[in-house]
Amino acid sequence: MSQPALKPQTHSAEVRPFLRGQPKSVADVHVVTANAPKKSALESIAAAKSLFSPEHKRNKLKLVYCSLAEEQRRMLCFCAGLKQQHVSMSFDDFTNEETAKIAAGLKMMAGVVTRFENMAGPVSHLKPASFYR
Protein backbone atom coordinates (compact mmCIF):
# COMPACT_ATOMS: atom_id res chain seq x y z
CA MET A 1 0.00 0.00 0.00
CA SER A 2 1.33 3.36 -0.87
CA GLN A 3 0.88 6.26 1.47
CA PRO A 4 -0.25 9.62 0.19
CA ALA A 5 2.42 12.32 0.08
CA LEU A 6 2.32 14.73 2.98
CA LYS A 7 1.50 18.30 2.09
CA PRO A 8 2.90 21.14 4.13
CA GLN A 9 0.18 22.93 6.04
CA THR A 10 -0.32 26.57 5.30
CA HIS A 11 -1.58 29.04 7.85
CA SER A 12 -3.56 32.07 6.97
CA ALA A 13 -2.56 33.99 10.12
CA GLU A 14 0.86 35.57 10.35
CA VAL A 15 3.08 33.82 12.89
CA ARG A 16 5.58 36.15 14.48
CA PRO A 17 8.91 34.82 15.70
CA PHE A 18 9.74 35.00 19.40
CA LEU A 19 10.93 38.52 20.12
CA ARG A 20 14.38 39.08 21.55
CA GLY A 21 15.91 42.40 22.42
CA GLN A 22 14.26 45.62 21.31
CA PRO A 23 11.05 45.52 19.27
CA LYS A 24 11.64 46.34 15.63
CA SER A 25 8.23 47.86 14.93
CA VAL A 26 5.02 49.06 16.53
CA ALA A 27 3.44 45.74 15.57
CA ASP A 28 6.10 43.92 17.63
CA VAL A 29 5.26 46.11 20.63
CA HIS A 30 1.57 45.28 20.22
CA VAL A 31 2.35 41.55 20.08
CA VAL A 32 4.34 41.74 23.32
CA THR A 33 1.86 43.92 25.20
CA ALA A 34 -1.17 41.93 24.02
CA ASN A 35 0.32 38.73 25.47
CA ALA A 36 1.57 40.31 28.70
CA PRO A 37 -0.38 39.41 31.84
CA LYS A 38 -2.42 42.31 33.17
CA LYS A 39 -1.90 43.38 36.79
CA SER A 40 -4.09 45.60 38.87
CA ALA A 41 -2.76 48.95 39.99
CA LEU A 42 -2.50 47.70 43.57
CA GLU A 43 -0.44 44.67 42.47
CA SER A 44 1.88 46.90 40.45
CA ILE A 45 2.35 49.31 43.35
CA ALA A 46 3.03 46.43 45.75
CA ALA A 47 5.62 44.99 43.34
CA ALA A 48 7.33 48.37 43.02
CA LYS A 49 7.37 48.89 46.80
CA SER A 50 8.91 45.45 47.33
CA LEU A 51 11.96 46.58 45.36
CA PHE A 52 12.71 49.07 48.15
CA SER A 53 12.20 46.72 51.10
CA PRO A 54 15.08 45.92 53.47
CA GLU A 55 14.71 42.21 52.63
CA HIS A 56 15.15 42.89 48.90
CA LYS A 57 18.27 44.96 49.59
CA ARG A 58 19.66 42.22 51.85
CA ASN A 59 19.09 39.63 49.11
CA LYS A 60 21.00 41.80 46.63
CA LEU A 61 23.87 42.19 49.12
CA LYS A 62 23.85 38.43 49.71
CA LEU A 63 24.12 37.78 45.95
CA VAL A 64 27.12 40.07 45.69
CA TYR A 65 28.84 38.66 48.78
CA CYS A 66 28.30 35.06 47.64
CA SER A 67 29.75 35.88 44.21
CA LEU A 68 33.02 37.24 45.69
CA ALA A 69 36.17 35.19 45.35
CA GLU A 70 37.67 33.92 48.60
CA GLU A 71 40.46 36.50 48.39
CA GLN A 72 37.90 39.30 48.07
CA ARG A 73 35.88 37.95 51.00
CA ARG A 74 39.08 37.77 53.06
CA MET A 75 39.91 41.39 52.26
CA LEU A 76 36.37 42.54 53.10
CA CYS A 77 36.28 40.58 56.35
CA PHE A 78 39.68 42.03 57.32
CA CYS A 79 38.45 45.59 56.69
CA ALA A 80 35.31 44.78 58.66
CA GLY A 81 37.37 43.58 61.63
CA LEU A 82 35.98 40.05 61.38
CA LYS A 83 37.91 36.84 61.96
CA GLN A 84 39.26 34.28 59.51
CA GLN A 85 36.33 31.96 60.22
CA HIS A 86 33.93 34.55 58.74
CA VAL A 87 35.53 34.22 55.29
CA SER A 88 33.97 30.80 54.73
CA MET A 89 30.64 31.55 56.43
CA SER A 90 27.40 31.86 54.51
CA PHE A 91 25.91 35.35 54.36
CA ASP A 92 22.78 34.04 56.10
CA ASP A 93 24.89 32.96 59.09
CA PHE A 94 26.09 36.51 59.84
CA THR A 95 24.51 38.30 62.75
CA ASN A 96 23.18 41.84 62.40
CA GLU A 97 26.31 43.08 64.20
CA GLU A 98 28.57 41.27 61.72
CA THR A 99 26.68 42.61 58.70
CA ALA A 100 26.98 46.11 60.19
CA LYS A 101 30.74 45.56 60.38
CA ILE A 102 30.75 44.43 56.74
CA ALA A 103 28.93 47.65 55.77
CA ALA A 104 31.52 49.67 57.70
CA GLY A 105 34.34 47.72 56.01
CA LEU A 106 32.86 48.45 52.58
CA LYS A 107 32.65 52.15 53.42
CA MET A 108 36.28 52.12 54.55
CA MET A 109 37.36 50.44 51.30
CA ALA A 110 35.30 52.90 49.26
CA GLY A 111 36.96 55.80 51.08
CA VAL A 112 40.42 54.49 50.21
CA VAL A 113 39.47 54.04 46.55
CA THR A 114 37.92 57.52 46.44
CA ARG A 115 41.10 59.12 47.79
CA PHE A 116 43.22 57.42 45.12
CA GLU A 117 40.76 58.33 42.38
CA ASN A 118 40.60 61.97 43.48
CA MET A 119 44.38 62.27 43.19
CA ALA A 120 45.33 59.87 40.38
CA GLY A 121 42.16 59.15 38.38
CA PRO A 122 40.22 55.89 38.09
CA VAL A 123 41.96 53.03 39.90
CA SER A 124 41.02 50.73 37.02
CA HIS A 125 43.44 52.75 34.84
CA LEU A 126 46.37 52.58 37.27
CA LYS A 127 49.34 50.46 36.22
CA PRO A 128 51.84 48.86 38.56
CA ALA A 129 54.54 51.06 37.02
CA SER A 130 52.73 54.11 38.39
CA PHE A 131 53.84 53.05 41.87
CA TYR A 132 57.51 52.45 40.98
CA ARG A 133 60.24 54.91 42.04
| Amino acid (1-letter code) at residue 53 | S
Q: What is the pLDDT of residues 91-133, one digit of tens each?
A: 999 999 999 999 999 999 999 999 999 999 999 998 999 889 8
Poorest-pLDDT segment among 25-29, 62-66, 101-105: 25-29
Region of residue 121 (left: phi > 0; alpha: psi -120 to 50; beta: else):
left
Sequence-distant (≥ 6) Cβ neighbours of residue 130 within 8 angstroms: 120
**pTM of model > 0.75:** no
Residue 25's φ and ψ, nearest 5 degrees, are -155, 170
Calculate the CA 112 to chain-centre distance.
24
Contact 91, 66 (CB under 8 A): yes
Sequence-distant (≥ 6) Cβ neighbours of residue 101 within 8 angstroms: 80, 81, 82
3-state helix, strand, coil in the chain (%, to 5): 65, 0, 35
Instruction: Give pLDDT, residue 2.
Output: 58
Q: What is the pLDDT of residues 10-26, one digit of tens each?
A: 555 554 555 566 777 88
Mean pLDDT over the full length of the chain: 84
R_g (Cα) of the chain, nearest Å? 27
Instruction: Give pLDDT, residue 26.
Output: 84
